[in-house]
Structure 1
Amino acid sequence: MSETEESVPTRDDVQGWSAHKRASVARLLAESIDPPPVAARPLGRRRVVLAVGGVGAVFLLPWLVFLSVTLPATSSGGAWRTVWVGFDVALVAALVATVLTVWLRRQVALIALVITATLLACDAWFDVCLSWGTDEHWGSIAAALVELPVAILLANSAAVLMRRNFAVIALLRGLDPTALPLWRQPMIHFAPTGRSKRMNPAGQAR
């Protein structure tokens, strides 16, 4: 056995360490390991998300005022104005949350990205369907052609962030950090205490 192999602690050695020592070594490893290619920041993606989210929020503010003035209070027995103005208020809030969390580089940006993408897709769907056969039909289609690409951009950005997180976790666990499609990526969790399991490159116990 080489000197390098002898200096590497075994599983039994690590289990004999205190929780504080294990945490300290884990932090040192995290600081010294080079990030995998998939963990590199996508060039320009963050700026695009910030720009699109900011422009969308600014555009929707006067649109909210316009809707609150022009929409009928009720339609077919429902609170028509409340539904649509309330929906757009939620969309503005989601866009602002997305911009702030992406700007601050917080993990909660994943949730904000998914929520905003969902709201944009729903807005496009309802606008097109409810305006079908009216004078506003083509305007709704034009708006949908803007909203849907933005929704795809935000949803894809959330997926990229998730894959980066999984790659970093796999690398710190000593596993293959090769990116996997999210539908094949197992959930990340701690192994049951006291049980030794071997992990394959995908991070699954066997």
Structure 2
Amino acid sequence: MRTPMGGGRWPQAVLDRLGAEGPGADRFRRGTAGALVAVAALLFGWILVLGSTTRGQAEVRNWSVVWIGLDVLQVTGLIATGLLLARRSRLAALAAAASATLLFLDAWFDVMTAEGGGAWYLALAMALLVELPASLALAALSRSALDW
């Protein structure tokens, strides 16, 4: 799919434009940054609405599918990170960053959705001893892989 932004596929054209030099590129970058901040502001408003309207517990369809899906994404990210790391590819930075984020989210949701008592303490222990340290290690790997 060709675009007016300079040919090629649209994601690459946008990335090329974001990394370009010159006044036109600066305007494009500022416009993109402004759009991201505007979307964040809208999302923040939505968070306020959700916070004021959702109380207590909610029944969720396909709960087990959601958790299994998150775990499958983590496994996929860890495999991709490992394969890219073995090749010493700079793309390992992206896979490691995504994997770090998924592990952090898993820790958050495990702790926040665990029932009280022993289940909550187990979720907290897993978060503090496994998921968050692994997330931090992957974030550090992501940063260092950018320098390869």
So what's the TM-score if we normalise by structure 1?
A: 0.41
More helix by share: 2
Larger Rg: 1
What is the SS of the residue equivalent to 1:106? coil
Alignment CA distance shift 1:140-1:77 (3 Å): closer
Aligned match of 2:93 in 110, 114, 117? 110
Q: Displacement, 1:79?
A: 0.9
Question: Equivalent residue for 1:120?
Answer: 103
Offset at residue 77 of structure 1 (A)? 3.7
**What's the TM-score, normalizing by structure 2?**
0.57
Q: Deviations over 1:150-188 (max 9, x none)?
A: 1111101111222x25xxxxxxxxxxxxxxxxxxxxxxx
Equivalent in 91, 113, 128 of residue 130 of structure 1: 113
Check conservation: 2:92, 2:145, Cα contact below 8 A.
no
TM-fit CA distance, 1:132 = 4.8
**Equivalent pairs: percent with the same residue?**
38
RMSD of equivalent CA atoms: 1.5
Deviations along 1:110-138, whole A, 9 cap, x unmatched? 11000000000000000001015243111
* d(CA) in 2 for partners of 1:117, 1:136: 24
Which residue does the alignment assign to 1:98? 81
Matches within 5 A, 1:15-164: 76-145=59-128, 146-162=130-146, 164=147
Any unmatched runs of 5+ in structure 2?
A: 1-57
Which segments of structure 1 move beyond 3 Å, counting only runs of 4 or more? none
